A and B are shown apart, each in its own frame.
Chain A
């Protein structure tokens, strides 16, 4: 039995074996966190992905008879959290599903064939409250953090925020609390999560944080990963979210590339050599080895994003195109970059590469560095010009970068 606070239990499912969360690589698995509040009218906050139902039920039974559940609070419609609502309602059919108005619409559309049309819904809006006995829960709608239906639940008596995906991390572990695992490890996973899931919605995330800032929060219970309960950890994650939502980044560069015959690779390595000589922090990521979801996390940390690609059939190289597609949807903003690559006889795909970066909110600081077939020594040495512009940006002297 995992007690989170007085009369509040974690009854989730640990997904040890998950390695791919709709394209987001999860080498460390994940969890779907459900929280059971044992009060006069027991309430379950979120459920688990459909295949975790048995474990969730087993954990609930350690605390109460599931028949006693009066409310299933659905903070978010996505099926990693709503996937077991139907199965649970088969056991406690009188329970009401509490969610946002868009949540009700969304759940009905998702689970029409499971009879969601007959579920007892209680739609709530920002500021509404629900008394469950000793406690009163209140709700704050957080549209587009990260779906239209998203909301968070707050227990004033416990000073606990049930934040659903916000502040979550994909980590399967025996530990349930951030301080048990170590802040640095959890922040790294929380950053990757933010970069891949929340990044396009910075404006909405800031609005949501404004709404909850006035609340007294002693614990944040997210729907994935570990629970925040140490004051300094809570302060840390909230201030990180604010920084990320403001599209802040660090003074570092990331070089992202793929290569067919090592030419684009040669350019990438020369760029690294020249940047490294200036003492600038730079990381290389190669689409052959690195997952786009990890590359995107690195983009979130980097003020300068440098992307290189060979040309194949007049188009940008396929894995680079895939990465650019993901990046365009995430819209990083407030960053600088440039492009490079090797071509054979036509520079066709390079405009696609340049436009993709610009569309993503990355301002190009110079023309791209494109060389035919194999770059020569003079070709590679000519990269010094762009490197000095990058240096100006990373050492804070934006005015001299010519942007």
Chain B
């Protein structure tokens, strides 16, 4: 499931991951470590919401 940063709108797509931050493609949002931050605006995982698809 995709997750959206409520602060800046960045969408985390598990199929793509966030390789620049060391998150491999295929990583579910729930499995991302709590130390990870939004690559666009720097806020933490608590500021993300699931995206209705």
Contacts and interface: CB of A to CB of B under 8 A. Distances in A.
A148 B41 contact: yes
Interface in A137-155: 141, 143-144, 148
Q: State the main secondary structure of chain B at its contact with A.
A: loop
Given A102-B42, A141-B42, A143-B41, A148 B47 contact: no
Contacts, number: 22
B1 to A, nearest CB: 23
Contacts of B42: 102, 141, 143-144, 148
A200 B6 CA distance: 10
Contacts of A141: 42
A2 interface: no
Contacts of B41: 143-144, 148
A269 B8 CA distance: 39
A59 B47 CA distance: 43
Contacts of B7: 144, 200-201, 203-204
A141 to B, nearest CB: 7
B32 interface: no
B40 interface: yes
B12 to A, nearest CB: 16
B43 interface: yes
B7 to A, nearest CB: 6
Interface in A141-172: 141, 143-144, 148
Interface string B29-47: 0000000010011110001
Given A144-B42, A148-B8, A203-B7, 5 more contacts: A141-B42, A143-B42, A148-B41, A201-B7, A203-B47
Interface of B: 7-8, 37, 40-43, 47
Interface of A: 102, 141, 143-144, 148, 200-201, 203-204
